Amino acid sequence: MNHCILMAEIVEVPQLRYTSDNQTPIAEFKVKIAGLRSEDSPSQFKVVGWGNLAQTIQDASYSPGDRVVIEGRLTMKSVDRPEGFREKQAEITAQRLHRVAELQSMMLAEAAPIVEGSSGGGNGDTRPAATPSAPPASQPATTTPDYDEIPF
């Protein structure tokens, strides 16, 4: 199964083009990801989005410097270089694309709201108000499987 999720920074503005046979939209752009170690240089590769995703990429007006999370399939392409040799380049076919700022705002929106003045002290405490929780309902005891004796 080929499925990967990467966080990257957009290097160039996405370009929209269409296939010649049935005019399917294709968006292409380059991204870079940081190296594993601080002394490693960042890696760049091409991202391709097809169909409705290509239109969405173009309409969302992504620009260089935007940090995105890309979900898709990773492939290796062989490219003939003018110097006379073949080079392998990584390429990801995107299935989903999200701006990092949008993900952060969604996570913040899902967080519990802050209630001011809930501590009763009047000292400007902005912690969430404590809500009494109901005692847990009696649940049947679950048994943990015994992994010590594996039959093989």
> What backbone phi and psi angles, to 5 degrees, belong to 105?
-70, -35
Residue 137, domain member (yes or no)? no
Residue 90, domain member (yes or no)? yes
Q: What is the CATH number of the domain that holds 48?
A: 2.40.50.140
pLDDT at 25: 92
- Written as one letter, the residue type at 134 is A
Residue 17, domain member (yes or no)? yes
pLDDT at 49: 93
pLDDT at 126: 47
Residue 65, domain member (yes or no)? yes
Residue 62, domain member (yes or no)? yes
pTM across the whole model = 0.62
pLDDT at 102: 67
What is the mean pLDDT for each group of 10 consecutive residues in the chain (152 residues)?
A: 88 91 91 88 90 89 89 90 88 90 67 50 48 53 58 54
Total number of domains in the chain: 1
Structural domain for 20, as ranges: 4-110
Among 11, 7, 6, residue whose Cα is nearest residue 31:
11
Residue 104, domain member (yes or no)? yes
Cα separation, 1 vs 86, in Å, equals: 27
Residue 80, domain member (yes or no)? yes
pLDDT at 117: 47
Residue 96, domain member (yes or no)? yes
